[in-house]
Structure 1
Amino acid sequence: MRRKLIKGAAIVSMDAAIGDLPKGDVLIEQDRIVAVAPSIAADDAEVIDASRMLLLPGLINGHLHTWQTGLRGLAADWTVAGYMQAMHRGLATLFRPEDIHIANLVGALNQINNGATTLVDWCHNNPTPAHSDAAVQGLADAGIRALFLHGSPKPDPKPGQKHFSEVPMPRGEVERFCKGRFASRDGLLTFGLAVLGPYYSTYDVTKQDLALAREFDVFASMHVGGGKGMVPDGFERLLDDGLVDRHLTIVHGNDIAPDTVRRIADRGGTFTVTAEIELQMGYGDPLTGILHEHKAPISIGSDVEPAVGSDLFTCMRLTLQHERNRGIIETLEKTGSRPQRAAVTCRDALAWVTIDAAKIAGLDDRVGSVTPGKQADLVLLRTDALNMTPMRDLVGCAVMQAATANVDTVLIAGRTVKQAGRLLADDVAGKLAKLQSSGDRILADFEALPTRAA
């Protein structure tokens, strides 16, 4: 691969040692960043003119059910009860492996188009190994960097079957992936578990699943929200039993007691916030404020694509502004006056989709900042557009002004995957047609179910 020189960009590195550069260059060799400086000479390199662009680390979507991509808009007015019933006990049961593949492929391409170079894919519709393999292949075919989280489907049990809450993660499948496709951890795709946790499973199942994650030294993520948990004191018990550590990430967790949230963070556990979905489903205030005050890393994600769009610029703004409003109201009630300064900044919000998200996904040695030695996952935003001119503050404009329309160029591991505003993927129209047909078939089969799931 020829060396690349990104020339003349405004740079927000998210690396404290490098800082922000009003104008600078980035030199890339193979898949790595080798230099970041105000000016770099490299006569043999392919030059990318970024004189009217803002360069950021590639963005990281910390939580997305990519398999649902073909059902966009369907859940826009759903409650959490409607989602659980219609999606998990109805629509999910109708997906074939090929439906999972095209959904993950198009969903991942959409993330790249939006400026995200890494996706944490929370795949909990994999009733067979073929479904799981199709999900992974969809991500691979898109060329995105992804942490694939192997989950558990949640259908109503058939006669003689155990309820899903009593079924631990299938050890054979975990071993198959860890010793097979994910035997090496050096590729674009890495592996983890999307476990049920004490909210959706028995305590014994939770213990087994976390023990499995530790045994294979993989990431374990769990949903917490949407009703009363099966084990009300589950997290306190996990803490007391020494089962919370760096392997564990909790998605949502809005109704976990604040002291327990802090204890989890102190043990190395982390949290992912999906504010837009949490607000739609009535989970309560996102944990953004508690975690920020505790100086704990935060990642954010778009979550349910049938309900909301999945660009991270919107995610950042909504999460940030909700927390600002919540914090201001809290201060006003306590002191009788509003604070003079914003407690949570735009740079904090950008960290949620870059360096902090990389730390939580276990990828901060590779991505998350524009740092020599890391892989070249980068995004260039056009700053000569109507919505970005003039750019008075680099981080402020990146978070509060930018949109997908500004994403000009995207690189993943040094490979250009979007250029001049155009996604460099073959036959996008054909892929979209296949996604449309997949969703049409699933919805038709859903309508034909003997008893409607919603």
Structure 2
Amino acid sequence: MTGKYLLTGGYVATLDDSLGDFTKGAVLVEDGVIKAVGNIEDLSATDAEMIDTTDGVVIPGMVDTHRHVSMALTRGLGADQSLLHFLSNTYLRWLPATGVEDMQLSAFVGALEALDCGVTTIIDTCESFHSKEHAEAELQGLKESGIRAFFAYGMCDGEYNGAPVGKDAWKARLDHLAEMHAANPSHQSLVQVTLQLSIPGTVPFSLTAAEIKFAQENNMLCCSHSCGLKNSVISTGLDERADNDLMLPGHVYIHCTNLSDRQIQLIAKTEGKVSIAMETDMQMGMGIPPIRNCLKHGIQPSLSIDTSTAVAPDLLSQMRLALQTQRLLDNEAIHSQRQVPMHLDYNVRDALRWGTRNGADAVGLGDLIGTITPGKRADLVFLSNKRFLTPSAYPLGTAVLHSTAADVDTVMVNGVVKKRDGQLVGHDVEVIRQKAKAGLQRIFENLEKMRPEMTPEEISKYLEDAERFSRINLGQAYLTNVAGDGFRPA
């Protein structure tokens, strides 16, 4: 239930450029809305529930623009795997071994662990559904958690509800997506049904074009895994989309570690958004996360964890990794000139912005969340200093560079408290742990019926086939009239 709260005593980082920060600040929340923000001596409300934030930091709720909650029950799976090993193992074995009940449980657990870490909004990039029941189960799991989410239904042409592989299955998926979208009006729920493109190149280009047009006609947020594997054509297709006028404003391009200058300029020109998965990009061989390249072209990057099977579920670690990796790259550029670095271009406020305000803008909610501004919805996080032995000489620096999920004391979504005093509210955590343990055991049992894990030779063949299909499907952008008049060389 929403109520009236006064968060008072701590450092308030509004990220609203017109307001600035308040060293000893207060935030008044009523009926889900931020009513006021200011210095502690200027705000009071005798009828509000007090949340003492002394020595801590209040920030906007964090926004993760690419998170696979359907994999939350299989934590640790991708810890030592490269991308192709992980993809083949996950999509050919582990996800098919996940039943409907456990798909819902995984989404629920994955969303709760995000809330527990101070992430109040996610794009749930959900893929590899084999039935309507699986898709609707994941959507229900998100709703039960109380998180703000975009259920980005992942399109493909894999078998679906009895429809055979190919265009029939693709159409069955799109029809079901339309049903879910109609049944879940966005204004009635924190969870919106949106669209994730088929991995570019995995389906005929005409189907990719149809997906983009469907999202446009239904005013849906649309996202895609894009240019995410260096030295490969897999997940590319930006040039083909641009040549057919299919790069739409607000589209969220995920990874983007393999962009050419032309491609990043195309994203900037068409007002696209970029979601960077720092840790998995680095681990799984996708390339160097393009923080500076985005900023150079006027694109404000957002951050994601990608999947908690491989990395920790908190976005604080991704902010820290993004900031320090970019500092390393910048310093190394100076070192290569045989000079000593004398300044840092990016600071902790930049990192915090990447994980909050930029994410809100990326999902199209910058006017509702992302800053602590009167009139916006109350998605807030209080990072406590209780775990530390000393106070902080620079609270914002401590919040970004020193804090972990263990320091997330209070989380509020739309004015509803989801975590308080370091504990999730309204959930029996021990019961959830037991259910998750049982769910993983069921997946293990089902896994025995799945195909064995690919050998290195099979993974190499998997890559060769995927690249061949990508070249064929993307090439169709210039052979068929897929977007109105179609492409015509100058």
- What is the TM-score of this pair, normalised by structure 2? 0.86
Equivalent position of 2:411 in the other structure:
410
* TM-fit CA distance, 1:43: 1.7
Deviation string, structure 1 residues 46-82 (Cα, Å, up to 9, x no partner) = 2222223211111112211001011111211111121
Equivalent position of 1:246 in the other structure:
249
Where in structure 2 are the equivalents of 1:184-333 lying within 5 Å? 184-185=186-187, 187-224=189-226, 225-226=228-229, 228-229=232-233, 234-333=237-336
Which amino acid in 2 is paired with 1:402? Answer: S
* TM-fit CA distance, 1:128: 1.7
Equivalent position of 2:468 in the other structure:
none
Distance (whole Å) between structure 1 residues aligned to residue 114 and residue 145 of structure 2: 10
* 1:346 to 1:19, Cα distance in 2 relative to 1, 3 A: same
Distance (whole Å) between structure 2 residues aligned to residue 69 and residue 164 of structure 1: 30
* Equivalent position SS for 2:328: helix
Deviation string, structure 1 residues 259-299 (Cα, Å, up to 9, x no partner) = 31122122111110001001111111111110022231111
- Contact preservation (8 Å) 2:33, 2:415: yes
Equivalent position of 2:402 in the other structure:
401
* TM-fit CA distance, 1:92: 1.4
- Contact preservation (8 Å) 1:275, 1:319: yes
Where in structure 2 are the equivalents of 1:41-440 lying within 5 Å? 41-152=44-155, 161-162=164-165, 167=170, 170-181=173-184, 183-185=185-187, 187-224=189-226, 225-226=228-229, 228-229=232-233, 234-333=237-336, 335-386=337-388, 389-440=390-441
Aligned length: 450
- Contact preservation (8 Å) 1:213, 1:247: no
Distance (whole Å) between structure 2 residues aligned to residue 93 and residue 261 of structure 1: 35
Distance (whole Å) between structure 1 residues aligned to residue 235 and residue 356 of structure 2: 33
Moved more, 297-306 or 318-327: 318-327
- Contact preservation (8 Å) 2:163, 2:169: no
Equivalent position of 1:34 in the other structure:
35
- Contact preservation (8 Å) 2:149, 2:191: yes
Which amino acid in 1 is paired with 2:258? Answer: D
* TM-fit CA distance, 1:332: 3.3
CA-based RMSD of the aligned residues comes to 2.4
Deviation string, structure 1 residues 215-261 (Cα, Å, up to 9, x no partner) = 111111111224733586x2112122221122411111211212311
* TM-fit CA distance, 1:338: 4.2
Identity %: 28
Which amino acid in 2 is paired with 1:272? Answer: S
Moved more, 86-95 or 350-359: 86-95
Distance (whole Å) between structure 2 residues aligned to residue 266 and residue 120 of structure 1: 23
**Structure 1 unmatched ranges of 5 or more:** none
* TM-fit CA distance, 1:198: 2.4
- Contact preservation (8 Å) 1:168, 1:208: no
- Contact preservation (8 Å) 2:157, 2:170: no
* Equivalent position SS for 1:316: helix
* 1:445 to 1:186, Cα distance in 2 relative to 1, 3 A: closer
- Contact preservation (8 Å) 1:63, 1:302: yes
Equivalent position of 1:21 in the other structure:
22
Equivalent position of 1:3 in the other structure:
4
Which amino acid in 2 is paired with 1:238? Answer: R
**Structure 2 unmatched ranges of 5 or more:** 456-490
Deviation string, structure 1 residues 130-177 (Cα, Å, up to 9, x no partner) = 1111111111111111111111368699x9944599946833122212
Which amino acid in 1 is paired with 2:191? Answer: L
* Equivalent position SS for 2:192: strand
Deviation string, structure 1 residues 89-134 (Cα, Å, up to 9, x no partner) = 1111122221111011111111111111112111113222211111
* 1:231 to 1:384, Cα distance in 2 relative to 1, 3 A: closer
Which amino acid in 2 is paired with 1:271? Answer: V
- Contact preservation (8 Å) 2:77, 2:309: yes
Distance (whole Å) between structure 1 residues aligned to residue 168 and residue 253 of structure 2: 17
Deviation string, structure 1 residues 412-442 (Cα, Å, up to 9, x no partner) = 1111111111111322212221111111121
Distance (whole Å) between structure 2 residues aligned to residue 413 and residue 160 of structure 1: 40
Which amino acid in 2 is paired with 1:75? Answer: G
Moved more, 142-151 or 245-254: 245-254
- Contact preservation (8 Å) 2:103, 2:137: yes
- Contact preservation (8 Å) 2:155, 2:174: no
Deviation string, structure 1 residues 314-333 (Cα, Å, up to 9, x no partner) = 11111221122122223433
- What is the TM-score of this pair, normalised by structure 1? 0.93
